[in-house]
Amino acid sequence: MTAGPDPRESDPSVLAALEPEDLDGHSIDELADYLDAGMQPADPSIDDSPACQNALAAIIRLRNASLSALETAAQLEAPADESWIGGVLANISIEARAGRDVPLRAESETERPVMTEGAIRSLVRRAGDAVPGIVVSRCSIEGDVTVFAAPVRVTVEVAIIAGPAIHATAELVRAGVTTALAEQTDLVVEAVDVLVRDLLVEPAAVSEAASGRTRTVDPTDTTDSTAGEADA
Amino acid sequence: MSDTDDTRETGTQLPAAVPSEPPTWSAAALAAIEAVVLEVPGVADLFRARPTVQSAVTAIRVGVTPTVSRLVLDGAVLRIVIGTDGFAPAPAVARAVHDAALDEAARHRLVLSRVDVRIARIG
């Protein structure tokens, strides 16, 4: 496993600047604690916050999708893994905030529909997480999303559980994200780039290695594997 | 007695006087709009819209406690923040919410210049 999703997200000044208000007054740690407590007692400031709900959904997916692989990897390289999970959580915190308003197509003068950038990033993350063996570590939207029909480019950075063919799995991510954006937004998507940044060691592979068999995983094979671009 | 005083001559009541002022917003009207918005297919959540200074002034003027309603009335602009279910296409849901809010406002004889629908969560 490589060191983390993106060094930029490890910048303490960036994270510190996000803490006070970007999740409607809550930090990502508070949301994780709220989940651990079974979301009881109910906290309306979290339950009624779309940004918090986006972040909570992403944390739940992260926990459900990657728990076994992360636990196994953590046994092999605990310090790096903690850093990696922390990086993903930091990215969730960044992405879940509302961000800019992205205009939708209006059909009358009394209509002004918009979608938050946070909602779109969460949609992208959910579409990527839905692919088996994938954990989205970071996603971003490049382009002036505040202008209707302006072309944008979406980048999804993922960790992939060793086993399935990396290019085929990354292609599933690209297709899933492209479809989700086409169905749920009015964005003009110029491209969807999928970057495989990390390789999560499959538990079975570790078991085999531990039992003396020869199967191993070389993380250097996974760095910056780009799946390709979506059709415009 | 005046020739024009029909009431006294016939002993019947005149129709109720037409209100001199247009209908104003009320908590009941906002609650009704909230209810119809929540019934729009594809709407999963109705979040509290962020109030503006103008909306707070409007709320106080019409007697609506700003923290009670999840909708924000900013002059003649209604602001609605929703989450969708992730199945129905979000842009179509936003349009349906706009239409439903506008229709319900009209039922209360209230005029909106615009309905701002903000989708803050999908699925």
Residues in chain A with CB shorter than 8 Å from the CB of B121 are 50, 53-54, 119, 122
Show me where the domains of chain B are located.
24-122
- Between B11 and B41, the higher pLDDT residue: B41
Q: Which of A159-163, A198-202, B45-49, B98-102 has the highest mean pLDDT?
A: B98-102
**Cα Rg of chain B, angstroms:** 20
Q: How confident is the model at residue A98 (pLDDT cuts 50, 70, 90)?
A: confident
When the pLDDT of each residue in chain A is averaged and rounded to a whole number, the result is: 77
Q: Which of A1-10, A39-48, A111-120, B105-114 has the highest mean pLDDT?
A: A111-120
The hierarchical CATH code for the domain A7-226 is 3.30.70.1350
The Cβ of residue A227 has, within 10 Å, a number of other Cβ atoms equal to 22
The Cβ of residue B84 has, within 10 Å, a number of other Cβ atoms equal to 28
Question: CA-to-CA distance for B23 and A10, rounded, in angstroms?
Answer: 55
- H helices of chain A, in order, are 12-18, 28-36, 44-47, 50-76, 78-96, 117-129, 166-184, 203-210
Tokens in use for B66? 């700003």
Closest Cα in chain B to A53 = B121
pLDDT tens across A173-183, in order? 999 999 999 99
Has residue A28 got a pLDDT over 90? no
Question: CA-to-CA distance for B117 and B83, rounded, in angstroms?
Answer: 10
- On whether the CB atoms of residues A203 and A72 are closer than 8 A, the answer is yes
Helix A50-76 vs helix A28-36: angle between axes, to the nearest 10 degrees?
80
**Tell me, what amino acid is at B53?**
V
Question: CA-to-CA distance for A81 and A88, rounded, in angstroms?
Answer: 11
For residue A187, count CB atoms less than 10 angstroms from its CB and return exposed for 0-12, middle for 13-18, buried for 19 or more.
Answer: buried
Helix A78-96 vs helix A28-36: angle between axes, to the nearest 10 degrees?
100
Q: What is the pLDDT averaged over residues B55-61?
A: 64
- On whether the CB atoms of residues A52 and A23 are closer than 8 A, the answer is yes
Check if CATH label 3.30.70.1350 holds for domain B24-122.
yes
Question: CA-to-CA distance for B61 and A88, rounded, in angstroms?
Answer: 46
Q: How confident is the model at residue B86 (pLDDT cuts 50, 70, 90)?
A: very high
In the prediction, which pLDDT does A58 show? 87
Give the distance from residue A8's alpha carbon to the nearest chain B alpha carbon, in angstroms: 26
Residues in chain A with CB shorter than 8 Å from the CB of B102 are 110
Alpha carbon dihedral B8, B14, B18, B24, in 10-degree steps, equals: 110
Q: Which of A34-43, A161-170, B101-110 has the highest mean pLDDT?
A: B101-110
ipTM of the complex: 0.74
Has residue A24 got a pLDDT over 70? yes
The Cβ of residue A16 has, within 10 Å, a number of other Cβ atoms equal to 9
Inter-chain contacts counted by CB atoms under 8 A, chains A and B: 85
Bridge-partner residues for A159, per DSSP? A135, A198
In the prediction, which pLDDT does A208 show? 53
Q: How confident is the model at residue A219 (pLDDT cuts 50, 70, 90)?
A: very low
Show me where the domains of chain A are located.
7-226
Q: Which residues on chain A place their C-beta less than 8 Å from a C-beta of chain B?
A: 48-51, 53-54, 57, 98, 101, 104-105, 107-116, 118-120, 122-123, 126, 183-186
Q: What is the pLDDT averaged over residues B91-113?
A: 94
Tokens in use for A82? 């903690």
Helix B27-39 vs helix B90-107: angle between axes, to the nearest 10 degrees?
150
Supply φ then ψ for residue A35, to 5 degrees: -65, -45
**Overall pTM surpassing 0.80 (yes/no):** no
User: Which residue in A162, A161, A163, A165 sits closest to A136, CA to CA?
Assistant: A161
User: Which residue in A119, A206, A51, A3 sits closest to B93, CA to CA?
Assistant: A119
